[in-house]
Amino acid sequence: MKEKSILDKLGRISIPKEVREEIDFGANDIFEIEIRDGKIMLLKGNEESLKVKRPLDPTGRLVIPIEIRQALNYKEGDHMEITVERVLLISKI
């Protein structure tokens, strides 16, 4: 499954409802955020096991930390591709 989203000025992307339902992501779920092969990878986890923690808000938005946006040169208005392959992958297109 592939979907598209746009990075907003606060560093958020909206994860489409269909994607959230497919991988059982809900509001206030906590994710570990990693960079792998130039992509952001989200892994569902718990607060004790995570290095970088971010909750999904009730509308399906997730803030990508500034350090990760800078490392990958992500800017406001960039078009993002969201791919589901057992984990959620986010990359600039």
Domain ranges of the chain: 2-92
Please spell the DSSP secondary structure of the chain, one letter per residue.
Answer: -EEEEE--TTSEEEPPHHHHHHTT--TT-EEEEEEETTEEEEEE--GGG-SSEEEPPTTSEEEPPHHHHHHTT--TT-EEEEEEESEEEEEE-
Which CATH code is given to the segment(s) 2-92?
3.40.1550.20
Give the pTM: 0.58
> Which has more confidence, 22 or 9?
9
Residue 74 in this model has a pLDDT that exceeds 80:
yes
Q: pLDDT value at position 77?
A: 92
